[in-house]
Structure 1
Amino acid sequence: MKSAVETLNPTRVRLTVEVPFEELKPSLDAAYKKINQQVSLPGFRKGKVPARVIDQRFGRGAVLEEAVNDALPKFYTEAVNEGELNPLGQPEVDITELKDGELLTFTAEVDVRPALEIPDYSGIEVTVDAVEVTDEDVEKSVEQLRERFATTTPVERAAAEGDIVTVDLEAKVDGEVLEDGVAKGVDYTIGSGQLLDGIDEAVTGLAAGGTATFTSELKGGSAEGKEAEVKVDVTAVKSRELPALDDEFAQLASEFDTLEELRADSRERLARMKKFDQATQAQEKVLEELLKLVEVPMPEKLLEDEINTRKHNLEHHQLGQMGLTLEKYLELQGKSAEEFDAELKEQAEKGIRTQFVLDEIVNKEKLSVGQDELTEHLMRRAQTSGMSPDQFAQAVVEQGQVPMLVGEVARGKALATVVEAATVKDSNGEVVNLDEEDETEAAAETVEAAEETKEA
């Protein structure tokens, strides 16, 4: 076999492959054997029909076609390896010559991973938010915990802000009660803004047994977006009582004996969260700066496939689960179809460029992935998927996605390497030394977010 590579552009090549006919013999033998198993001819036992009879009855062309289809993947792979190419996607194959007994010639056009020059990235500088936990942050955290331990008590008085009212609702559009416009026994906290616009004003001041009507734009259902006349009947009013902020509350809500210990723990936890957020911010900003340094030719077919996949996932997975069409989603987002397509293209390009650049750094820095690192990544991915680690691991193996996970970990390590070489300062001008564990985990999440075949 002989092959030649013609570079069509930085991301696409054409392979021309010549195969001497004798190298087709294993595939020809396999073709005759396959046809033998599929046909029955009088006078011959099944599987024992001679080749010359198969040629006479079914035509030599049918045998050649079967043999060539069987052999093409093997010769294409040999040509790719010989040319030291990194193909992306499936090739477009064209058989240019087939001389029985002499020669097979074919061409294969395919996108390839472009050669990239990675410049010195140690000069990258980024600024991130300083880690600051205020007393207000701590009190807000403690107050949220306090809310979880609130108790409710029925009261015989008019409802006020903060009370919980139990209501029956009936919505009419153009004087007709909607089939899906009736709800009974709904608990609503006045002032939460979690139901219909106008309901707070309608129920404030009503005691159990009170009724009011108000007009509101429906946020869902069969008449979504339409103005409806809503009747609300209050069937019960309950006051919410928060526990006193004291040591007894700390003992009730946590493992701590005193309120001060609870506050100190909240401060530490908030600091850890903000530190991780800081690491994530550093990764994102360093990645942006890194991508500015590298010129990445974009394979058109790969980009087209990536855009289509992201759009399909958005339409048929996420939006489908929410009961939204793409048109309704764009309406809610306040975007035109043209703006959406432009954003999707930009996201897809960034994902491809991120993968190419970080893969090049993996090779340049000779980064490898250990079993412990892969296991840790698998556990984290299992958490976000809602599956158990065993289930997720089984699915990954069955779908042949282990190399994909290894690539994710390696690219996360590549980004962490770049961040280590960069200068990261906080908004106070202080140099930030990122925690290694936070840095590694944040890098993996940043890479996944950039490369994600868009589901959101």
Structure 2
Amino acid sequence: MKSAVETLNPTRVRLTVEVPFEELKPSLDAAYKKINDQVTVPGFRKGKIPARVIDQRFGRGAVLEEAINEALPKFYTEAVESGELNVLGQPDVDITEFNDGDELKFTAEVDIRPTLEIPDYSGIEVVVDAVEVAEEDVDTSLEQLRDRFASTTPVDRPAAEGDVVVVDLEASVDGKVLDDGIATGVSYTIGSGQLLEGIDEAVTGLSKGGSATFTSELRGGSAAGVAATVKVDVSDVQARELPSLDDEFAQLASEFDTLEELREDSRKRLARVKAYDQATQAQEKVLDALIELVEVPIPEKLLKDEIETRVHNLEHHQFPATGQTWESFLEGEGKTREEYDAELENQSVKGIKTQFILDELVSKEKLSVNQEELTEHLVRRAASSGMTPDQFAQAVVEGGQVPMLVGEVARGKALALVVEAAKVTDTNGETVELEDEEDETAETVDAAALSGEGAAAEDEQPAEQ
């Protein structure tokens, strides 16, 4: 077999492959065997039909087509390996010449990872927010904790903002009550915005036994996204009472004996959260600076596929789960479809650049991933997915996603190297020392990288012709 590589642009090549007919013999033999196992010819035992009979009965062309379909992936892979190409996605294969007994000639156009030059990144400098916990932050944290320990008391008066109402709901569309549009005994805090749009106005001012009707777009169920008429009956009105902010509350809500101890613990916890946010901000800013340093050609087909994957996930996963439509989604985002599409393209470009650059760094720095690092990353991913580590690990193995996880960890380690080399200062001019970056950089990389298979799909085999 002979092959040649023609560079069409920095991210796409054309392979020209010539295969002598004798090298097709194993595939021809396999084709005859496959047909033998599938057909029956009177006078011959199954699997024992001579090749000449198969040619007479079913045509030599059918055998050749089967043989070529079986052989193409192998010869394509050999050509890719011979050319030392790092391919992306499926090739476009075209058989340019083939006659029975003569050599097979075909071309395969395919996207490749571009060759990148990673410049010296040690001069990257970024500024991040300082870790500062104001007394107002502590006050807000304690108020939120206090709110969680609020009690309710039935009251004989009209409902007002902040009250809890117990309601029965009945939704109908075009005068017909929906089968899944009835809910009873629902507790709702007026002003929380956690139920249906319009319910706050409908129940405010109603007393126990009162009723109202309002129109709202349903968020889930059989009529998700549809404007429905909703009847609400108030069966109880309850006033919320907050506990006093004192030592007794500290003992009720925590393991501390005094309010001051609780305040100090809240202050430390908020500082840890802000430090984590600071580290994440540093990683994101360093990554953005690194991307600016490197010229990265983007494969057009890869970008198109990535955008289509993200849109598909919205339309077929997120929207059905949340009861959204494009109209309601864009309204919530505060964008037009054109603005959203432009933002989506920018995000996809950044994701592709991130993966290409960090993969190049992994190769350049000869970074590897050990079992302990992979296990730690798997545990974190499992926690964010709501699955147990064993469940997540099983899903990863069954889905063939282990290489993807290894890539995420390796890219996290690559970004950690860049962050370590960068100069990070806060808004107060203080140098920021980041610890355990590798535990968090993978998450930063995940947020920026591809949501679909995208650039991770390498060394794909061609589809059968």
**TM-score (structure 2 length as normaliser):** 0.88
**Alpha-carbon distance, 1:197 to partner:** 7.0
Q: Which residue of 2 aligns with 1:156?
A: 156
Q: Which residue of 2 aligns with 1:448?
A: 446
1:10 is the counterpart of 2:10: yes
**Alpha-carbon distance, 1:169 to partner:** 6.4
Q: Which residue of 2 aligns with 1:289?
A: 289
Q: Which residue of 2 aligns with 1:246?
A: 246
**Alpha-carbon distance, 1:343 to partner:** 1.8
The 10-residue stretch of structure 1 (245-254 or 151-160) with the greater mean CA deviation from structure 2:
151-160
**Alpha-carbon distance, 1:200 to partner:** 5.7
What is the distance in 2 between the residues matched to 1:413 and 1:372? 14
Q: 1:60 to 1:169 in 2, by over 3 A?
A: closer
1:96 is the counterpart of 2:96: yes
Matches within 5 A, 1:268-417: 268-417=268-417
Structure 1 residue runs without a partner (length 5+): none
Q: Report the AA paired with residue 42 of structure 1.
A: P
Q: Report the AA paired with residue 440 of structure 2.
A: A
**Alpha-carbon distance, 1:108 to partner:** 0.8
Secondary structure of 1:434's aligned partner: coil
**Alpha-carbon distance, 1:5 to partner:** 0.5
What is the distance in 2 between the residues matched to 1:263 and 1:435? 26
Structure 2 residue runs without a partner (length 5+): 454-465
* 8 Å CA contact retained: 2:150, 2:242: yes
Q: Report the AA paired with residue 124 of structure 2.
A: I
Cα offsets for 1:349-378 (capped at 9, x unmatched) = 111111101100111111111111111111
Q: Which residue of 1 aligns with 2:456?
A: none
Cα offsets for 1:129-170 (capped at 9, x unmatched) = 111111221122122112111111223345454332334568
What is the distance in 1 between the residues matched to 2:157 and 2:381? 51
Q: 1:150 to 1:72 in 2, by over 3 A?
A: same
1:64 is the counterpart of 2:64: yes
Q: Which has the higher contact order (CA 8 A, sep 6+)?
A: 2
* 8 Å CA contact retained: 1:170, 1:177: no
Q: Which residue of 1 aligns with 2:46?
A: 46
Cα offsets for 1:424-445 (capped at 9, x unmatched) = 1111111110121xx2233111
* 8 Å CA contact retained: 2:131, 2:275: yes
What is the distance in 2 between the residues matched to 1:223 and 1:368? 47
* 8 Å CA contact retained: 1:31, 1:63: yes
Q: Which residue of 1 aligns with 2:216?
A: 218
Q: Report the AA paired with residue 108 of structure 2.
A: A
* 8 Å CA contact retained: 1:124, 1:286: yes
What is the distance in 1 between the residues matched to 2:182 and 2:4? 72
What is the distance in 2 between the residues matched to 1:109 and 1:391? 39
Q: Report the AA paired with residue 386 of structure 1.
A: G
Q: 1:46 to 1:288 in 2, by over 3 A?
A: same
Q: 1:43 to 1:255 in 2, by over 3 A?
A: same
What is the distance in 1 between the residues matched to 2:27 and 2:343? 48
Cα offsets for 1:310-368 (capped at 9, x unmatched) = 11011100011112222442244343332222222211111111110110011111111
Secondary structure of 2:431's aligned partner: coil
What is the distance in 2 between the residues matched to 1:199 and 1:50? 79
Q: 1:139 to 1:403 in 2, by over 3 A?
A: same
* 8 Å CA contact retained: 1:311, 1:454: no
Q: Which residue of 1 aligns with 2:462?
A: none
* 8 Å CA contact retained: 1:36, 1:47: yes
What is the distance in 1 between the residues matched to 2:44 and 2:200? 88
Q: Report the AA paired with residue 450 of structure 1.
A: A
* 8 Å CA contact retained: 1:250, 1:259: yes
Secondary structure of 2:425's aligned partner: strand
Matches within 5 A, 1:101-180: 101-157=101-157, 159-167=159-167, 179=177
Q: Report the AA paired with residue 357 of structure 1.
A: I
Cα offsets for 1:186-208 (capped at 9, x unmatched) = 43334445556776677666654
Q: Report the AA paired with residue 363 of structure 2.
A: N
What is the distance in 1 between the residues matched to 2:391 and 2:136? 42
Secondary structure of 1:248's aligned partner: helix
Aligned residues: 448
